């Protein structure tokens, strides 16, 4: 269903029905128009963003991008070699961290919730001043692992270290440190955080899965 929506929007963009700078319909509008769920809409938008066809503007919506000025993706040999390992790590993280988020939601203490919130705020502050965000991103995920109160989740994530944050492996990737992209990552983090704060395991599990799947889709495209 997501691919059908992607194909429809892509056709509208390429035909000029949705010209450069045009705003896409809102999520509720697309849900109603295509009779799909919000998850399907978000998956489709993620695919279009990864293809460089649309770009989000904070607080305004999703707009058709000017692809004529989009730089070609030229990766270094080391970056190219790291693609398979990056995808394997993400696949493993999806299996482990979705359940970690659910466990953290019902087991976390008030102090552990605050630690997750502090890591998220650190990333927010770093984005605001254009600073490097990989450490703060990793700290956010480690804080969730610690909130499971199960040492195996913590050991698993810390064994990967900061290389578990994919964009750190692709410094030349266009948009990897773009503020709009990072704001999207931050919004995904906030959905995970609020689900854990609300002690809602199912929502926390789904939010973490969506977050990691979005990352997986982005880097799978580099393999093509």
101 shares a domain with 58: no
Choose the final residue of a domain: 13, 37, 69.
69
Q: Residues 180-187: contacts with CB within 8 Å, 24+ apart?
A: 180/55, 180/56, 180/57, 180/58, 181/49, 182/123, 182/127, 182/133, 183/56, 183/58, 183/127, 184/49, 184/56, 185/137, 185/211, 186/120, 186/123, 186/124, 186/127
The domain boundary residue, chosen from 48, 69, 90: 69
Dihedral of the CA atoms 82, 86, 92, 94 (nearest 10)? Answer: 180
Q: Do 47 and 95 lie in a common domain?
A: no
Instruction: Tell me: do 54 and 99 sit in the same domain.
Output: no
CATH number at residue 64: 1.10.10.10
What is the pLDDT at residue 50?
Answer: 66
Contacts of residue 80, defined as CB under 8 A and 6 or more positions apart, other chains included, come to: none
Domain count, the chain: 2
Looking at the structure, do residues 171 and 129 belong to the same domain, yes or no?
yes
Query: 183: domain CATH number?
Result: 1.20.120.530
Phi, psi of 63 (to 5 degrees): -125, 150
State whether 114 and 212 are in the same domain: yes
Mean pLDDT value across the chain: 87
87 and 27 assigned to the same domain: no
Model confidence, pTM: 0.70
Question: 94 and 46, same structural domain?
Answer: no
pLDDT band with cut points at 50, 70 and 90 for residue 58: confident
Q: What is the pLDDT of residue 104?
A: 98
In this structure, are 51 and 146 located in the same domain?
Answer: no
Say if residue 111 is in the same domain as residue 180. Answer: yes
- Do residues 64 and 84 both lie within one domain? no
pLDDT tens-digit series, residues 63-109: 988 766 555 556 677 777 778 888 899 999 999 999 999 999 999 99
Beta strands in 20-107, from DSSP E residues, in sequence order: 54-57, 61-64
Residue 173 near residue 219, CB atoms below 8 Å? no
Nearest Cα residue to 174 out of 86, 41, 29, 49: 49
* Domain final residue pick, 51, 69, 87: 69
Do 99 and 194 reside in the same domain of the chain? yes
> Residue 149 phi/psi, 5° resolution?
60, 30
Give the mean pLDDT of 129-149. 95
Do 112 and 131 belong together in one domain?
A: yes
Domain that holds residue 216: 77-223
Q: Coil, strand or helix: which one is 13?
A: helix
Q: Which backbone phi and psi does 56 adopt, to 5 degrees?
A: -85, 145
47 phi/psi in degrees, rounded to 5:
-65, -45
């Amino acid at each position: 269903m997501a691919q059908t929506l992607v194909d429809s929007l892509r056709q509208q963009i390429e035909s000029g029905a949705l010209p450069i700078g045009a705003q896409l319909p809102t999520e509720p509008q697309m849900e109603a128009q295509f009779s799909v769920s919000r998850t399907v809409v978000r998956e489709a938008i993620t695919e279009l963003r990864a293809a460089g066809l649309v770009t989000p503007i904070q607080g305004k919506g999703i707009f058709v991008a000017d692809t004529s000025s989009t730089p070609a993706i030229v990766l270094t040999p080391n970056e190219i070699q790291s693609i398979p390992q990056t995808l394997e790590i993400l696949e493993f993280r999806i299996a482990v961290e979705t359940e970690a988020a659910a466990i953290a939601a019902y087991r976390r203490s008030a102090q552990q919730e605050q630690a997750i919130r502090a890591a998220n705020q650190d990333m927010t502050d770093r984005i605001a001043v254009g600073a490097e965000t990989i450490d703060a991103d990793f700290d956010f995920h480690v804080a969730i692992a610690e909130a499971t109160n199960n040492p195996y989740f913590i050991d698993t994530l810390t064994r990967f270290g900061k290389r578990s944050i994919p964009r750190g492996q692709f410094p030349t990737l266009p948009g990897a440190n773009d503020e709009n992209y990072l704001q999207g990552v931050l919004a995904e983090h906030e959905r995970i955080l609020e689900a854990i704060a609300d002690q809602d395991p199912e929502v926390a599990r789904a939010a973490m899965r969506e977050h990691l799947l979005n990352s997986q889709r982005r880097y799978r495209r580099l393999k093509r």
